[in-house]
């Protein structure tokens, strides 16, 4: 409600805004009246000062509806609200008569009920007072734990990408070093050109030196030795020049060599696209898994969730436990009663030999359904021992088989749960190939049925967001 200026109750000061209120006198006073009131009536302990922000909250016994200005004498049971005569007037005009059709009583009639409820509320508030602080402290602890998990996740992601960047940088440095080595071996650089630029002058000088030596006469042994030494120097110069000439010839052909960075541009683009898709943040309620076959193993939990999200192209799912053999019974009737027509489901199986596997399907389980194909190709089975997912990849292959006298049955009997759900079997061969790797790990055999005993079986409703 919009705050309204309340005038002083004195007839002489009706134009002056009130600054305080006396509950005992039921009057509003301006600052002048307040001085006289406090001197004359010192025993009025209910004297209340207020400002523009809270004066509308002061209860004075008058209705606060616009234009009513009447004493509150009635109670509306329909709206749990005090009313004045204007509120319950049968003639509705502007804001008069809002409660004319409500269940109305006088205030005295509701007094005992409100006092009784007040006592209950006192007890309730006492209990809340004792528990709310504990709840707030628990929230603080939960908040700290959540923030820690958030920060830990950020640090984990940063560490992964730091490793990736380091490996990319190392790879880049190595490739650049290889470029230098290859070009040094096959090609030449500017220093080589500068070096070879001196060659014509060197040849010219050697030629002139040869002519001078050729004119010299060796009169004695020392002169002969000097002459021979000069001839050897010329021979070495010629050999060096000849080697340089061969290198020049080799370098003249160096332009015929092609150098290229592999992979090709298309492969690079594919790699960049993979980087863009690398990593994703998934979130799911892990509570249903706490008392599950896989318990608190977050790696197994997140693997299953990620496989489902990959198949459904979503980012969040919730799980609701529909069936647990140890709680709901080991008959297939129990399974169908609790799991039929529930939409997408996740099945988990643990054998007595401690193998854990299962399957996901977006299709409904039914008591009478026969073999059902998954046109969306979202159904899959998996092994948590191998931490692998096996897609239903065969064209026209069956995703699930719904039989009244059996439990969950995935694929072409890749794994199926019998009438007595404590028994099951797997089958794998080259024609179905859905669980062949798993079947090998489970049984050591391929291309034939292998029975297993079920220690526990769970079925979850998968709510995809």
Residue/partner pairs of 123-130 with CB below 8 Å, 24 or more apart: none
Q: Is 183 helix (H, G, I), strand (E, B) or coil?
A: helix
Query: Which pLDDT tens digits describe the chain residue by residue (465 residues)?
Result: 345 567 888 888 888 888 888 877 778 888 888 888 888 887 765 566 655 455 555 666 778 787 777 889 999 999 999 999 989 888 767 678 889 889 999 999 999 998 988 888 888 888 887 788 888 888 899 899 899 989 999 999 999 999 999 999 999 999 999 888 887 776 655 566 666 666 667 667 767 777 776 666 655 666 667 767 777 777 777 777 777 777 666 666 666 677 778 888 888 888 888 888 888 888 888 888 888 999 889 889 999 999 999 898 887 889 999 999 999 999 999 999 999 999 999 999 999 988 899 999 999 999 988 888 888 889 998 888 888 888 876 555 688 989 999 999 998 677 889 988 999 887 654 333 444 444 555 444 555 667 889 999 999 999 987
Cα–Cα distance measured from residue 448 to residue 329, given in angstroms and rounded to the nearest whole number? 29
Cα–Cα distance measured from residue 290 to residue 288, given in angstroms and rounded to the nearest whole number? 6
> In terms of C-beta density within 10 A (0-12 exposed, 13-18 middle, 19 or more buried), how is residue 271 classed?
exposed
pTM > 0.75:
no
Joined together, the tokens standing for residue 91 give 């003639």
């Amino acid at each position: 409600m919009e705050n309204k200026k309340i005038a002083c109750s004195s007839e002489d000061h009706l134009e002056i805004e009130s600054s305080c209120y006396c509950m005992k006198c039921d009057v509003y006073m301006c600052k002048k009246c307040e001085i006289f009131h406090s001197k004359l009536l010192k025993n009025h302990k209910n004297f209340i000062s207020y400002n523009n922000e809270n004066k509308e909250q002061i209860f004075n016994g008058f209705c606060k509806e616009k234009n009513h200005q009447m004493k509150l004498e009635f109670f509306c049971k329909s709206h749990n609200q005090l009313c004045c005569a204007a509120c319950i007037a049968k003639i509705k005009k502007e804001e008069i008569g809002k409660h004319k059709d409500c269940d109305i009583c006088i205030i005295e009639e509701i007094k005992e009920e409100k006092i009784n409820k007040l006592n209950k509320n006192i007890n309730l508030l006492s209990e809340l007072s004792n528990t709310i602080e504990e709840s707030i402290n628990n929230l603080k602890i939960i908040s700290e734990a959540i923030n820690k998990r958030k920060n830990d996740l950020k640090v984990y992601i940063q560490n992964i990408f730091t490793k990736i960047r380091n490996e990319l940088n190392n790879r880049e440095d190595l490739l650049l070093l290889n470029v230098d080595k290859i070009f040094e071996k096959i090609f030449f650089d500017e220093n080589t050109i500068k070096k070879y630029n001196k060659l014509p002058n060197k040849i010219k000088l050697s030629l002139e030196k040869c002519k001078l030596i050729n004119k010299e006469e060796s009169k004695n042994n020392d002169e002969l030795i000097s002459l021979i030494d000069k001839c050897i120097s010329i021979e070495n110069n010629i050999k060096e020049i000849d080697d340089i000439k061969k290198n020049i010839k080799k370098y003249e052909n160096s332009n015929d060599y092609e150098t290229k960075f592999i992979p090709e541009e298309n492969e690079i683009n594919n790699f960049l696209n993979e980087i863009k898709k690398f990593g994703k943040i998934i979130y799911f309620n892990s509570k249903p898994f706490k008392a599950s076959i896989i318990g608190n193993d977050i790696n197994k939990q997140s693997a299953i969730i990620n496989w489902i999200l990959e198949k459904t192209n979503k980012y969040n799912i919730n799980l609701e436990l529909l069936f647990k053999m140890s709680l709901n019974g080991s008959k297939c009737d129990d399974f169908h009663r609790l799991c039929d027509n529930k939409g997408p489901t996740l099945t988990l199986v643990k054998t007595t030999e401690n193998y854990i596997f299962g399957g996901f399907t977006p299709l409904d389980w039914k008591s009478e359904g026969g073999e059902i194909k998954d046109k969306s190709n979202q159904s899959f089975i998996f092994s948590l021992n191998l931490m692998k997912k096996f897609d239903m990849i065969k064209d026209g292959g069956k995703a699930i088989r719904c039989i009244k006298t059996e439990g969950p049955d995935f694929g072409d009997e890749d794994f199926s749960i019998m009438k007595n759900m404590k028994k099951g079997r797997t089958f794998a061969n080259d024609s179905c190939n859905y669980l062949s790797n798993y079947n090998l790990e489970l049984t050591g055999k391929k291309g034939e049925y292998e029975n297993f005993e079920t220690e526990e079986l769970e079925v979850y409703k998968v709510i995809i967001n």
